[in-house]
Structure 1
Amino acid sequence: MKLTFSILFLFITVSLFSQNDFKNQISKELNERSEVYISYNIEYVFSHKNEFEQLSFDKIENNRIYFYASKKDLNSITRNNRTLNLEPIPSKLNSILMASSVSSLIFSWDKYPTYQQYDSLMHKFEQDYPNLCKFQTLGTLPSGREILAVKLGDSVNINQNEVKFLYTSTMHGDETTGYLLMLRMIDYLLSNYNTNTYVKYLMDNVEIWINPLANPDGTYHTNDNTVFGATRYNANAVDLNRNYPDPEDGPHPDGKSYQPETIIFMNFADSVQFSMSANLHGGKEVANYPWDTWATLSADDIWWQKVAKAFADTAQSNSPSGYFDLFETGYTNGYQWYSVWGGRQDYMNYFKHCREITLELSDQKTIPENQLNTFWDYLYPSFLNYINESTYGIKGQTTDSMTGFAVKSKIEILNHDVDSSLVYSNDSGYYFRPIFDGNYDINFSANGYASKTITNYQIHTDSLVVLNVKLSPSTIGIKENSKTLNISLFPNPLFGSVVSIKSDEIINNVEVFDVIGNILFYSTDINSIEYSIELKDYPKGIYLIIIHSGEMNVIRKLLIQ
Structure 2
Amino acid sequence: MSSLTLFFCLGSLVSWGSSLEFRYYNTVELEDYLKAVNRNYSSITHLYSIGKSVEGRDLWVLILGKYPTKHKIGIPEFKYVGNMHGNEVVGRVLLLQLIEHLTQGYLSDPVVTCLLNTTRIHILPSMNPDGFEASTRNCLYSQGRFNKHGVDLNRNFPDVFTQNDMERELEVQAVMDWLKSEPFVLSANLHGGAVVASYPYDNSNGGEELQRGSSIAPDNDVFIHLAKTYSFNHKRMRNGNNCYDSQIFKDGITNGYSWYPLPGGMQDYNYVWGQCLEITLELSCCKYPPEKDLPGLWDDNKDALLAYIQLVHLGVKGQVLNSNGTPVENALVEVKDKNNLCPFKTNRNGEYYRLLLPGNYTLKVTIPGQKEAMTETLSIPYGPDKYSALTHNFVFKRNTYSSPDVTPSAEICTSKLKIQDSSHSPALAPSHLTVLLLMALCPFLL
TM range (shorter): 0.7 to 0.9
Choose which of 358, 365, 380 in structure 2 pairs with 1:459.
Answer: 380
Check 1:437–1:120 CA distance in 2 against 1; reply closer, same or farther (3 A cut).
same
Choose which of 253, 269, 291 in structure 2 pairs with 1:369.
Answer: 291
Choose which of 285, 300, 304 in structure 1 pairs with 2:223.
Answer: 304
Q: Distance in 2 between matches of 1:415 and 1:404?
A: 29
Q: Does 1:129 align with 2:41?
A: yes
CA contact (8 A) 2:196 2:240 kept: no
Aligned length: 364
CA contact (8 A) 2:64 2:121 kept: yes
Q: Does 1:217 align with 2:130?
A: yes
Match of 2:232 in 1: 313
Within a 5 Å distance, the mapping from 1:275-354 to structure 2 comes to 275-294=185-204, 295=210, 296-316=215-235, 323=242, 326-354=248-276
Q: Does 1:382 align with 2:304?
A: yes
Over the aligned positions, Cα root-mean-square deviation in angstroms equals 2.4
Check 1:199–1:331 CA distance in 2 against 1; reply closer, same or farther (3 A cut).
same
CA contact (8 A) 2:142 2:288 kept: no
Indicate the SS of the match to 2:222.
helix
Structure with greater proportional strand content: 1
CA contact (8 A) 1:280 1:361 kept: yes
Deviation at 1:436? 2.1
CA contact (8 A) 1:189 1:199 kept: yes
Q: Does 1:448 align with 2:369?
A: yes
Q: Distance in 2 between matches of 1:230 and 1:117?
A: 21
Counterpart residue identity of residue 475, structure 1 = Y
Q: Does 1:428 align with 2:349?
A: yes
Deviation at 1:131? 1.1
Deviation at 1:304? 1.4
Counterpart residue identity of residue 152, structure 1 = L
Q: Does 1:138 align with 2:50?
A: yes
Q: Distance in 2 between matches of 1:376 and 1:152?
A: 19
Indicate the SS of the match to 1:302.
helix
Structure with greater proportional helix content: 2
Indicate the SS of the match to 2:361.
strand
Deviation at 1:318? 9.2
Q: Distance in 2 between matches of 1:284 and 1:222?
A: 18
Indicate the SS of the match to 2:193.
coil
Deviation at 1:317? 6.2
Match of 2:109 in 1: 196
Match of 2:394 in 1: 469
Q: Distance in 2 between matches of 1:317 and 1:232?
A: 26
Q: Does 1:391 align with 2:391?
A: no
Q: Distance in 1 between matches of 2:240 and 2:353?
A: 37
Indicate the SS of the match to 1:130.
coil
Match of 1:170 in 2: 83
CA contact (8 A) 1:316 1:323 kept: no
Q: Distance in 2 between matches of 1:159 and 1:348?
A: 19
Deviation at 1:271? 0.9
Q: Distance in 1 between matches of 2:239 and 2:249?
A: 17
Q: Distance in 1 between matches of 2:191 and 2:337?
A: 34
CA contact (8 A) 2:383 2:390 kept: no
Indicate the SS of the match to 1:186.
helix
CA contact (8 A) 2:153 2:172 kept: yes
Q: Distance in 1 between matches of 2:381 and 2:351?
A: 21
Check 1:451–1:131 CA distance in 2 against 1; reply closer, same or farther (3 A cut).
farther
Q: Distance in 2 between matches of 1:321 and 1:274?
A: 30
Deviation at 1:222? 5.8
Indicate the SS of the match to 2:126.
coil
Cα shift readout 1:185-217 (whole Å, capped 9, x = no counterpart): 112111111111111111111111000000000
Cα shift readout 1:28-56 (whole Å, capped 9, x = no counterpart): xxxxxxxxxxxxxxxxxxxxxxxxxxxxx
Q: Distance in 2 between matches of 1:158 and 1:378?
A: 32
Q: Distance in 2 between matches of 1:443 and 1:435?
A: 15
Q: Distance in 1 between matches of 2:271 and 2:53?
A: 26
Q: Does 1:268 align with 2:174?
A: no
Check 1:468–1:243 CA distance in 2 against 1; reply closer, same or farther (3 A cut).
same
Check 1:179–1:222 CA distance in 2 against 1; reply closer, same or farther (3 A cut).
closer
CA contact (8 A) 2:186 2:278 kept: yes
Match of 1:557 in 2: none
Q: Distance in 2 between matches of 1:348 and 1:299?
A: 14
Counterpart residue identity of residue 300, structure 1 = D
In structure 1, list runs of 5 or more residues that go unmatched. Answer: 1-105, 477-508, 510-561
Match of 2:119 in 1: 206
Choose which of 139, 153, 158 in structure 2 pairs with 1:240.
Answer: 153
Cα shift readout 1:496-553 (whole Å, capped 9, x = no counterpart): xxxxxxxxxxxxx9xxxxxxxxxxxxxxxxxxxxxxxxxxxxxxxxxxxxxxxxxxxx
Q: Distance in 1 between matches of 2:202 and 2:255?
A: 8
Counterpart residue identity of residue 397, structure 1 = Q
Deviation at 1:305? 1.2
CA contact (8 A) 1:285 1:326 kept: no
Deviation at 1:339? 0.5
Cα shift readout 1:433-453 (whole Å, capped 9, x = no counterpart): 001233221011121335433
Choose which of 23, 30, 36 in structure 2 pairs with 1:118.
Answer: 30
Counterpart residue identity of residue 312, structure 1 = S
Counterpart residue identity of residue 118, structure 1 = L
Cα shift readout 1:307-352 (whole Å, capped 9, x = no counterpart): 2112111113699996489414200111111100011011111111
Indicate the SS of the match to 1:275.
strand
Indicate the SS of the match to 1:356.
strand
Deviation at 1:400? 1.5
Match of 1:360 in 2: 282
Percent identity at matched positions? Answer: 29
CA contact (8 A) 2:90 2:288 kept: yes
Deviation at 1:456? 3.1
Q: Distance in 2 between matches of 1:335 and 1:142?
A: 30
Q: Distance in 1 between matches of 2:20 and 2:354?
A: 39
Check 1:326–1:126 CA distance in 2 against 1; reply closer, same or farther (3 A cut).
farther
Deviation at 1:132? 0.4
Counterpart residue identity of residue 404, structure 1 = G
Deviation at 1:392? 1.7
CA contact (8 A) 1:284 1:364 kept: yes
Q: Does 1:438 align with 2:359?
A: yes
CA contact (8 A) 1:175 1:365 kept: yes
Indicate the SS of the match to 2:258.
helix
Q: Could you state the TM-score of these two structures normalised by the residue count of structure 1?
A: 0.62
Match of 2:443 in 1: none
